[in-house]
Structure 1
């Protein structure tokens, strides 16, 4: 339902006010984004304005604690997008903005439901906008007190007419005002209009509309579960006997896998003929993580409330042993990935995989805490969601290209005398953030060999410098600013050695 004061505003006036706010937001987006090479600080400013607009035009039902938490989450997300614009930081800041609007307007609730409703705001804008326009028109016709649109327009004739007369007189008397009037030539509006710009404004209006008119949904009537469902017995499929036998078999199988890893990876046992340690490590790293996730799902089924674990004293110890073996499995996957990195260098995907493996290990340990402390499944869901959100937020501030490039330069054969050869093409494909590590590689190579690298990509450095120099403030990010400072303090990159200079 459209919310407006019966004594002060008509439905048409309410709709005009909301449409004006949407138009202002679209104008701000046009100024910040349209025909711009990239986004940076502009995205942070726009989403911050969206959050501010939400709390200004909608009733706030959240308590003080929720207000502080929602505002802090939005500010932290805006800091992440200001540090660097990536798909991860973009998704986090969009999610934080949507949750901020949802929580501030409707108060607390179960966070999965809140998140689902918040995500719906991305898609309902066009439907809400059209529905509100039709509803406001229908309500205005049904009310006898509603001012007719023609009368409303007539009431604007005198103010606008006199305003234009005074403006023309001031422009005649004041050359500064005359210059301002010339800048705001109405003909420029038609010159700037284009189908793409009109579509852009419509998209922004549809995006912003749910934030200027958030609706309270009616809570569905609770449905009682059928007696046959609430008292359903899992029978032989997931009963006590099935879970107990599964745990015995799984623990035995996982013990074999763990023993092999201990023998081959940590114990140094010779591998079968033709199999290298790098191949052994790479082949099992990712499948073992998938195995651990599947095992964690089985543990949740076995330890569910009212499940077989409550009727058998043998299941809980076996589950704890099973979880411990899964933790060992994830640690083994981490170690395998480390061996593969030692043999074939680090990449962004391998670094992300190691972070993911660590998060899986944390989830398994949280399952152990849940079992030992008798926590609910809701506690486990909240704890895992918090761990995942904290990890993703932390990753927004990790400069993955710089970390990967620095690691590969430090551990390559050309600079350290050991390890794999540096893949210069991959290093430069990481983008401008890898250039400081590449300069370090050139310097270390020259110090170790007394000459420059056989192929020095100076054009890549010039391109990277131009990428962070030729940007306006709208595309500013803290990470890009740090790289620009590096280029300003190291304009020539690695300093040539005296031997190299004598060769030239």
Structure 2
């Protein structure tokens, strides 16, 4: 073996580390430019995540076919579109989880998606350990042949590239005014002012965050598990959830649920008069959330009782009772939705109540999927996948929904339908919804809409409108989002006077 062949691993290890470190430092520098100067996060976040995706592909081998590469790229574009619309914790969760999960898919990992997603979400936290381990390994390999890796020949190989690069840079400095200005801005005296403890900590955090993308590890292949017959239920489990126990449970449960459904059908759907002292709003509010918990417990019972391969799953007498029970739970969810709708009609809509509507819809869809599973004799894995798809699609669509605007618009519309009469409009709650709700009330805040508010209430909304306008005027391009762009157009269409009347009480708050 030649001397050069013996020294090649040491040189390769340092070259590998230098290449990876250069890419990671470039990503950290981009993060510094986009985020460190305390700019509000906006278009800068999807730009950075897109750069991280490009870094992932450039620094690692892609182990998937071209067709899947296009599919993964489309999934990432759709996820980043949620951040372009609006930066929120939900859109960040959707885009970040999509990017991290694609990391494992591109690396060739083919584990079941629940385990793969869990491991992917842990990637941002393993960066420091991986970075320290990779640096230690590279220098450990290099230390074995330190003399060869720092030989005079290797240092001499840098003389010509560095010298000619400086010559070309000097020529470009003389020929291009932009390059001249950039070089003048690189004042060495400014370097100490740019270096600070927070900035160094930010760069270290950014390096640890992007390092798992720079050095993507492929999961080791494990031996395929030996296929064995599914274990039989223990005697205790068979006694608790066997055909006799399930039959008795379904008979009792169906009877109890029939009573509850009958009362709701009479009072909520049929309009039967309630007892004295009990309003429809109180009746509706009292059981809306409790009935959803009941439906979830019932669904858990059905899954446990009718588990594939269980003793009750093949019983022909139990299947009709199970389907009736699930149907009653679907009716229970519909009753919960109606209860919440009646309460909203009486007391107004809030973001929590709107989220409850979405959650109830998901619970109802999950119950319908259980029916499909039972009729089609599908596995629990199919049910898990179907519910996961429904949840992911719902969360993605929610990234584009402006919930504060929906809440404010609903409350204002109902207030205006009553010609300003009826339940008092909670102007304080409208103002607390933030700038996203402003398009709903910009007209009445500027006294251009029907049914003008009293002076102090309009002044409170005008204060929120002025704060939003100031925020948008002072915002950097990094803070741009589609939602803020639409908000700016609304504010331009509903300008406020310089000294609106009735702002004194609002200022006192």
Quick one: distance in 2 between partners of 1:417 and 1:22? 59
Aligned to 2:476: 472
Q: Deviations over 1:250-294 (max 9, x none)?
A: 111111111111111112222233222111111111111111111
Quick one: distance in 2 between partners of 1:452 and 1:346? 22
Aligned to 1:502: none
TM-score under structure 2 length normalisation: 0.88
Aligned to 1:351: 354
**Most deviating of 97-106 and 142-151:** 142-151
Match of 2:63, SS? coil
Q: 1:415 to 1:473 in 2, by over 3 A?
A: farther
Q: 1:128 to 1:284 in 2, by over 3 A?
A: same
Contact kept in structure 1, 2:446 and 2:495, CA below 8 Å? no
Q: Deviations over 1:121-143 (max 9, x none)?
A: 12111111111111112223446
Aligned to 1:327: 330
Contact kept in structure 2, 1:278 and 1:339, CA below 8 Å? yes
**Most deviating of 308-317 and 285-294:** 308-317
Q: 1:245 to 1:144 in 2, by over 3 A?
A: same
Match of 1:411, SS? helix
Q: Out of 180, 200, 203, which is 2:202 matched to?
A: 200
Quick one: distance in 1 between partners of 2:337 and 2:177? 72
Quick one: distance in 1 between partners of 2:346 and 2:78? 38
Aligned residues: 489
**What are the equivalent positions in structure 2 for 1:51-130 lying under 5 Å apart?**
51-130=53-132
Q: Out of 29, 49, 52, which is 2:51 matched to?
A: 49
Contact kept in structure 1, 2:305 and 2:312, CA below 8 Å? yes
Aligned to 2:241: 238
Contact kept in structure 1, 2:46 and 2:83, CA below 8 Å? yes
Q: Deviations over 1:447-470 (max 9, x none)?
A: 447x85553222222112112222
Quick one: distance in 1 between partners of 2:188 and 2:45? 29
Query: Which consecutive residues of structure 2, in runs of 5 or more, have no partner in the other structure?
Result: 1-7, 501-509
Aligned to 2:370: 367
Matched, 1:182 2:151: no
**What are the equivalent positions in structure 2 for 1:105-184 lying under 5 Å apart?**
105-142=107-144, 147-148=149-150, 152=154, 155-157=157-159, 159-161=161-163, 163-164=165-166, 167=169, 178-184=180-186
Match of 1:455, SS? helix
Contact kept in structure 2, 1:465 and 1:487, CA below 8 Å? yes
Aligned to 2:22: 20
Task: Quote the offset at 1:355 in angstroms.
Answer: 0.8
Match of 2:396, SS? helix
Contact kept in structure 1, 2:442 and 2:491, CA below 8 Å? no
Q: Deviations over 1:363-397 (max 9, x none)?
A: 11111111112222221111111110110000011
**What are the equivalent positions in structure 2 for 1:288-437 lying under 5 Å apart?**
288-412=291-415, 416-417=419-420, 419-437=422-440
Q: 1:49 to 1:237 in 2, by over 3 A?
A: same
Q: Deviations over 1:163-207 (max 9, x none)?
A: 446655775798765543221122322211110010000001001
Aligned to 1:485: 489
Q: Deviations over 1:6-30 (max 9, x none)?
A: 7996111101110110000000000
**What are the equivalent positions in structure 2 for 1:246-261 lying under 5 Å apart?**
246-261=249-264
Query: Which consecutive residues of structure 1, in runs of 5 or more, have no partner in the other structure?
Result: 1-5, 497-504
Aligned to 1:281: 284
Match of 1:370, SS? helix
**Most deviating of 420-429 and 233-242:** 233-242
Contact kept in structure 2, 1:11 and 1:137, CA below 8 Å? yes
Q: 1:301 to 1:346 in 2, by over 3 A?
A: same
Quick one: distance in 1 between partners of 2:175 and 2:77? 48
Match of 1:217, SS? coil
Task: Quote the offset at 1:222 in angstroms.
Answer: 5.0
Contact kept in structure 1, 2:109 and 2:218, CA below 8 Å? no
**Most deviating of 172-181 and 188-197:** 172-181
Q: Out of 191, 215, 218, which is 2:217 matched to?
A: 215
Quick one: distance in 1 between partners of 2:10 and 2:390? 48
Match of 2:106, SS? helix
**Most deviating of 479-488 and 107-116:** 107-116
